[in-house]
Amino acid sequence: MAANLTPQYLEAHKKLRTAVTPAEKIEIYEELLRLLPKHKATEKMVAQHRSMLAKLKEEMLKPSVSGKHGVGVSYLIEKTGAGQVILVGPPNSGKSSLIKALTGAEPEIGDYPFTTRMPAPYMMKFENIKIQLVDLPPITAEFLESWQIELIKVADAAVIVADASAPETPGLLEILFARLKDKRVEFVSESFLPPAEEAVRVFRKRSFLVAAKTDLDSGGENLEALKFFYEAQLPIVPISAETGDGLEPLRRRIFDLLQVIRVYSKPPGKKVDLNDPHVLRRGANVVDIARSVHKDFAEQLAYAKLWREGGYSGQMITRDQVLQDQDVVELHI
């Protein structure tokens, strides 16, 4: 065969037969791309794999009720706002109560496990933007559905919600983390450095651990236990949905977790609208904001000026100037 496909490639290709969901197929196509020898004879295959990947990724974001992926109803939730953050935790840990406190919505809340049976999106205001929070049914030793795993994989970040008033919480978290690790999903802090190479692909979600219901942990012993077991792995953020303690800093931490910045585009000679930021990934530069304002602006850009608190007040900047949260940029084309 001119393409000289390796046995590893052919082995990986076989897995496509049993793959059901878009996420599973994405995994396999990514592996195939890695394993495909790159030369003239395989160029077309590389292109085909890439376009298949793009299609699958698009498909994942679309909610589908047709059941065409063979898993019945698709529970995937379309992303809106500045980013999608999924709430993950054991039963009764306070996920829905936290969503209520942060968004003002009315998800079902109950003092029994599995109050939440279906995933649902809610919008949280953070200053001048909105962030999508996804409420997820709990994960236990007995209960972990494939659509829960898919939802976690596609989210931009995850917040683990644990009950800081219950002594059994560290044990429940251990089970939850182990079950997801088994499915190659891991929760890591923002400072986590992935290994250079890995035998299998691992889905790593940036996250932190919310220690909820601190109002019920009067001595603070349970919070101490949570810290003892998990602080090395994830930052721990204590809150109470009941009293409101810790909620305002939590909004900021959720925003930070998304690793995005807000940049304002100011039309030359006009005032800037500080209610309408462009949300860009951290590390974005002037070309990125230009492209976000208008698809042709990146090419047509002649020069730009920057306003930044404590630094710039309308100085000219280059196209590759890296921007920061709250920058104001004037684009000249």
Q: Which residues bind Mg ion (CB under 5 A)?
A: 95-96, 115-116
Please identify, using beta-carbon distances, which residue of 173 and 241 lies nearer to ligand GTP.
241
Distance CA 23, CA 60 (A): 7
- Which residue is listed with tokens 């250079």? 196
- End-to-end, the C-alpha distance of the chain in Å comes to 52
Residue 252 Cβ vs ligand GTP, minimum distance, rounded to whole Å: 19
CB of 51 to ligand GTP, least distance (A): 39
Least spacing, CB of residue 99 vs ligand GTP, in Å: 8
If the CB atoms of residues 107 and 235 are measured against ligand GTP, the closer one turns out to be: 107
Q: Cα–Cα distance between 137 and 120 in angstroms, integer?
A: 9
CB of 298 to ligand GTP, least distance (A): 44
Closer by beta carbon to ligand GTP, 3 or else 225: 225
Bridge-based pairing state of the strands 84-88 and 157-163: parallel
User: Phi and psi at residue 84, in whole multiples of 5°?
Assistant: -115, 120
Rounded to a whole number of angstroms, the minimum distance from the CB of residue 226 to Mg ion is 20
The distance of closest approach from Cβ of residue 92 to ligand GTP in the complex, given in angstroms and rounded to an integer, is: 4
- The neighbour count for residue 46, using CB atoms within 10 Å, is 15
Phi and psi, residue 288, nearest 5°: -65, -40
Chain positions contacting ligand GTP, by CB under 6 A? 89, 91-97, 109-111, 113-116, 138, 212-213, 215-216, 240-242
- The item of ligand GTP, Mg ion, none sharing an interface with residue 154, based on CB under 5 to 8 Å by kind, is none
- The smaller minimum CB distance to Mg ion, of residues 96 and 165, is found at 96
Pick 19 or 109: Cβ nearer ligand GTP: 109
Between β-strands 236-238 and 203-212, what pairing exists: parallel, antiparallel or unpaired? parallel
Shortest Cβ 98–Mg ion spacing (Å) = 9
* Alpha helical stretches, state H, the chain: 7-14, 22-35, 43-61, 95-103, 146-154, 169-182, 221-230, 247-258, 286-293, 297-300
Residue 113 contact among Mg ion, ligand GTP, none, beta carbon within 5 to 8 Å by kind: ligand GTP
Burial class (CB in 10 A: 0-12, 13-18, 19+), 79: middle
Structure tokens at 13: 């290709």
Cβ atoms 294, 317 nearer than 8 A = no
Provide, rounded to whole angstroms, the least separation between the CB of residue 318 and Mg ion: 49
Give whichever of 239 and 289 is closer to ligand GTP, judged by the CB atom. 239
Decide whether 116 or 132 has the Cβ nearer to Mg ion.
116
- 212, interface contact from Mg ion, ligand GTP, none, CB < 5-8 Å by kind: ligand GTP
Torsion angle of alpha carbons 215, 218, 219, 225, nearest 10°?
-30
Residue 157: left if φ>0, alpha if ψ -120 to 50, beta else—which one?
A: beta
Nearer to Mg ion, 142 or 197 (CB): 142
Q: Residue 138 and residue 116: Cα distance in Å, rounded?
A: 7
